[in-house]
Amino acid sequence: MINRFKEKKTDFETIVKGLEKEKNVIRISGKSVIYKSSSLGEKVPPKQLEKYREFMNELGLQEIRMGSPNTIRFVASSIGWLLISSEKSYVYSTIDKSPVADSLDEIIRSKRFEDQPPIYRRISPKWYLFYESW
């Protein structure tokens, strides 16, 4: 994931600039857009939505989630089973995230079938990898 981020960092940052203008969006997937309220604001223009989805397809992202006004999560992998689920994402945040680990790989291997509260790895200023299992 880190290598993919390094290769596409400019694309990630271009998409963030567009998404920061989307005040009414909660989630964008390949098939749908979830808005905060249909009466609160404008919908994403079709050409802009197409750009977001092309970016998602190019990077194999499942969806984009708008968190607080300071956080955007780019979901790379989300797996749900009967007893355990997990998510790996790229996170853009203008506020520091915690807890932060030096590596997520060991945590993922050691907690493979256990709950793991959200944990981050800083990969660049304002950018993190994210992992959680439940």
Q: What is the pLDDT of residues 39-96, one digit of tens each?
A: 566 788 899 999 999 999 998 899 999 987 789 999 998 777 666 777 789 999 999 9
Instruction: Report the C-alpha gap between 88 and 78 in whole angstroms.
Output: 6
pLDDT at 122: 96
Contacts of 21 (CB under 8 A, 6+ apart): none
pTM (predicted TM-score): 0.84
> Is the pLDDT assigned to residue 104 strictly greater than 70?
yes
pLDDT at 108: 64
> Is the pLDDT assigned to residue 113 strictly greater than 70?
no
Helices assigned H by DSSP within the chain: 2-19, 46-59, 105-110
Instruction: Report the C-alpha gap between 112 and 26 in whole angstroms.
Output: 29
> Is the pLDDT assigned to residue 126 strictly greater than 80?
yes
